[in-house]
Amino acid sequence: MQTLPIAQIESLDQEGRGVAHVDGKTIFIDGALIGETVTFKSHRSKKSYEVANVVDVLTPSGLRTKPKCKHFGMCGGCALQHLDFSGQVAAKQRLLEADMWHIGRVRPETMMPPIYGPAWGYRHKARLRVRHVPKKGGVLVGFNEKASSYVAHMDSCEVLPPKISALIVPLQQLVAKLSVINQLPQIEVAVGEHATVLVLRILEALQPQDTPHLKAFADEHGVQIWTQSKGPDTVKPFYPLDGPGLSYSLPEYELTYPFKPTEFTQVNPHINRVMLRRAMQLLDPQKNERIADFFCGLGNFTLPIARSGASVLGMEGSASLVARAVESAALNGLAGQVEFREADLFKMTPELLQTLGSFDKWLIDPPRDGALDLVKSLPDAVNEEGVPQALWGPERIVYVSCNPSTLARDAGVLVNLKGYRLRAAGVINMFPHTAHVESIAWFERG
């Protein structure tokens, strides 16, 4: 009988796997936690690293806990349910600090308290995979299996709102009745404050016999059925046609945001409110200031900034989100305070940036790729000869990130080249039980 290798877990990586070093190799071990001693079995081996699964936990972490979801370990939707909630947040904070130093060569002057909220039922946006698999009993609806393109065999989900979790089995039964049973790969879920929408991604047209089934499902479960046949511009309501629109609100700022089911909004509405409060505290917008909100989306940060009385320019690459932001500004009586422009911020240059005029402060909320071209467009603190030069640009930058490695890279540019101080940083636990790390950082001109 082969003796399995033993590893001492040193940290967690960005996928929530335990990291160890054995015989000069880095080993990434799924299912292992910091401080544990485990045996493992590798399923991928390279010259400098291996990817493995834990076999036995010889010395368990005091933070190891029993996963709440019965599908954990098979479903790929969550990676950290076996780690106590407080331990998850602490691990994400350590990952942020490590990336800041190892990638950006910067350290925050202060680590802010983490932002976190409800651990379960938080996910108000989701894309559920659909597949007809007769060998597994029929139609499957859920997330992918872990490290696989197969759809997980599941009948509930603890991170979806209870109402949506309870729809998984009825959705399986519904799809089994449809003519498009083999041409419906995805159902997108969007939960608003007054409506719930299910968008069926269909590759062939629905048939007349499908209509009664869809209408009965919508009526029984209190949801709206929409369809999408091709790109985002083909998303349209199917039944009912006169249902209430999707929206979310920010009561602290007396704001309401309408949105379409496939448009980007934060998946965790509770954390979004707390995150906005933290961002506004750090940005501290004033009435006489001009502020830029880069990657503004539908104005999630733009409109709260405008509520302060500041003049705000929101810039975003998606034309549909810019249109939605303009709509929300008018709805909330802020059209005179804000301006929105469509722009590809991944192609920013110093010349283009200067044409926007001067700003007192920036808020940046980019996608996973970060905002490298934007921050590189600011002037260097010293020229090629090492002589300090005149600087233009905002005195303060608040950066909201969904990827700690690109935040760390951009922070390195701002601090080491552009003359900013990294005053503070901290994590936002937007996606509990996953390895996904959101964070926020505050920069001031040095």
Beta bridge partners, 250, equal 255
Spot the catalytic one: 175, 313, 315, 402: 402
CA dihedral 22, 28, 34, 35 (to 10 degrees): -20
Q: Does residue 28 have a known ligand-binding role?
A: no
Q: Does residue 296 have a known ligand-binding role?
A: no
Q: Does residue 295 have a known ligand-binding role?
A: yes
Q: Is 296 annotated as catalytic? A: no
Q: Does residue 157 have a known ligand-binding role?
A: yes
Q: Does residue 316 have a known ligand-binding role?
A: yes
Determine the residue type at 433. Answer: H
Q: Does residue 69 have a known ligand-binding role?
A: yes
- Residues making up the annotated binding site for [4Fe-4S] cluster are 69, 75, 78, 157
Query: Which positions are annotated as active-site residues?
Result: 402
- Pick out the residues of the known binding site for S-adenosyl-L-methionine: 266, 295, 300, 316, 344, 365
**Annotated binding site, which residues?**
69, 75, 78, 157, 266, 295, 300, 316, 344, 365
